[in-house]
Chains A and B, each alone.
Chain A
Amino acid sequence: MSDTILKVKDLKIQFKTGKKTVQPIRGVDFSIKKGETLGVVGESGSGKSVTSLAVMGLLPEKTSEIISGEIVFDGKDLTNLKEKHFRKLRGNDISMIFQEPMTSLNPVFTIGEQLSEPLKQHKKMSKKEIETAIIAVLTQVGIPRAEQIIHEYPHQLSGGMRQRVMISLALLGQPKLMIADEPTTALDVTIQAQILKLMKDIKKQHDMSLLLITHDLGVVAEMCDRVVVMYAGEIVEVAEVKELFDNPLHPYTRGLIESLPSKNTRKNRLYSIKGQVPKPNEITKGCIFANRCPFAFSKCFEETPPVQHTGNHMSKCWLQDSNKDEVS
């Protein structure tokens, strides 16, 4: 598949904390095509960030371990890539925007200093050229007074501005893949709308792939071509965005969509999923969602459900399977 830019196969990641180990990523499979926007939705702790960090090779070296699976970027396996080679990719072929614009910029360096870094690392450019390039990108993301801003420090900018700076940082290397980890969660709705629009435009202009991580189904609906639904370190459903909203197969996805207030009659009780997201150390055998699933039956508690493909729509639920032999 030459049009696949990134392929993640059966990824399992484990963390060591003290003597204990937790495995927050337990088999993640997905791929992104060139020019595609893939959304990853999931509640807090479902492993979205860990997955994206794994793609960037930014997992903490000492405490984390990819125990199996592979990450193939542009035909290259990144799983065992040496740090030296990884560095060539980062900020150049793959770049990333982080969740917290307030803390993701170094407070003691000017915007200019920080933005020049990917260019210094990856491109042979003179100081002057670097500055011109930076100002160009800043202007492109809609930052006024770019010439002055490059001499200012992060704390002098508002949250929205900082996130724009982060986006321009990610754009500077003209990456093939951009990963955005909840780029708007910390922002206000009006600013969120600005940033989302900006990202849409930019993506179009630069013809890159976008891996958009979020917990907000609305953002997904707005931005994505395809969606991956994660729950407790596993992928429970993957589908085209329309397909997902029209025909969610996994009870979890269904629950998420159903519980949107706009799907419920005003002033009435909302549909809700019972219980809460399990922590990585609370996971037992069977389906991870079984204990919250309104449709769960005994099998769900015993065996991990298989991956079901219906065309491009993938889900991981015994219900799909049971449709075939059992009656639910």
Chain B
Amino acid sequence: MEAKTLLEIKNLKKYFEISQGMFKEKINVRAVDDISFSVREGETFALVGESGCGKSTTGRTILRLTDPTDGQIVFKGKNIEKLPYNQMRALRNRMQMVFQDPYASLNPKKTIRQILMEPLRVHNKFPREERLEKINNMLKIVGLSEEHLDRYPHEFSGGQRQRIGIARAVILQPDFIIADEPVSALDVSVQSQVINLMLDLQEEFGLTYLFISHDLSVIEHMTDRVAVMYLGKIVEVADTEELFANPRHPYTQALISAVPISHPDEEKERIILTGDVPSPANPPSGCSFHTRCPFAMDICRKVEPVSKEFSNGHKANCHLYTDSENKEEKEYAINHS
């Protein structure tokens, strides 16, 4: 079944101008550089990529926590990229966010009651008398209880705080939640608890997630579709299973192969990338991955590849798959990937 599109991103760009202290020139960081994708209702869409590739910025721009430099954000058929602050406020009960850092995302001066009451109050949701009950319900759902209501965030563990953060996002019963690395700051044993909670909530409330993570095993486990980002660009999009089974872009291949094995007996053919991720302030010409790509060709240095669709919804931006010369080289590469 083809679900409806909930969110559509078209040519989104976000550049940051940052000053390098007093002595240096200002630089322009292309955190998100012309990306497009869409999220369907009810699915979990993942953004994956290395640190600094622009995942968080994408998420924050979609929620208009920062203003996009350019491009369109269409939510439920409505363009929201230019909505003024106060109109955007009204929309926020439909789209919510869960943050990476459970310590920083809760106001240390507010009790849990205040933290959870705020969204209800702001959006005037539920009659006043019922709100407390709703909060208590929500607490129960995320595995906390009434007696936590009057405590302050610092009295909770990281896992518990993350659950409070999730509760705050879900209590408005939004359609769409962006979860920005919701588990990466948590202990291994607590991670799975939070992932379970997110899965449960999705089922219960029919939520759509934009799930941001760099942990490929988590992504493989819980998402439906994945977009792989590199230096502010999306290099590959596919259904999760398809992507892990059949990665097309050399970067995706390297990324997947770099994941540590899960059992000592496992044998893994590694593509070890050389070098570091270039700075988004000064991205390489052509295909931005060419500096590290084991299959880089001449054209990669000069021309930016365009998106090529393989099977249903599986797209990648790579010259290996575009029609041009160097056929042999390409074939070799594809066969060995």
Contact = CB atoms under 8 A, between A and B. Distances in A.
Establish whether A and B are touching in the complex (CB under 8 Å): yes
Interface of A: 43-44, 158-161, 188-194, 196-197, 215-219, 221-222, 241-242, 245, 255-256, 259-264, 266-274, 276-277, 292
The main secondary structure of chain B at its interface with chain A is helix
Nearest to B51: A188
Given A260-B217, A270-B192, A276-B159, A43 B262 contact: no
B260 A188 contact: no
A217 B262 contact: yes
A171 B274 CA distance: 21
A188 B214 contact: yes
Nearest to B44: A267
A68 to B, nearest CB: 28
Contacts, number: 125
Contacts of A259: 188-189, 191-192
A277 B187 contact: yes
B276 A221 contact: no
Nearest to A144: B275
Interface residues of B, number: 43
A188 B50 contact: yes
A221 B260 contact: yes
A190 B273 contact: yes
25 contacts: A43-B188, A188-B50, A188-B214, A190-B50, A191-B276, A192-B260, A197-B272, A216-B188, A216-B260, A218-B261, A219-B260, A242-B265, A245-B264, A245-B265, A259-B188, A259-B189, A261-B195, A261-B220, A261-B221, A262-B220, A262-B221, A269-B200, A272-B196, A273-B192, A276-B158
A193 B261 CA distance: 11
Q: A-B pairs with the 9 shortest C-beta distances?
A: A218-B260, A261-B221, A272-B192, A193-B258, A188-B50, A270-B192, A259-B192, A158-B276, A273-B189
A170 B174 CA distance: 52
A17 to B, nearest CB: 17
Interface string B136-161: 00000000000000000000011110
Given A266-B220, A269-B200, A255 B214 contact: no
Contacts of A159: 276
Interface in B38-84: 50-51
Contacts of A43: 187-189
Contacts of B157: 276
Contact of B196 (A44, A188, A266, A270): A270
Nearest to B217: A261
Nearest to B292: A190
Contacts of B50: 188-191
A264 B221 contact: yes
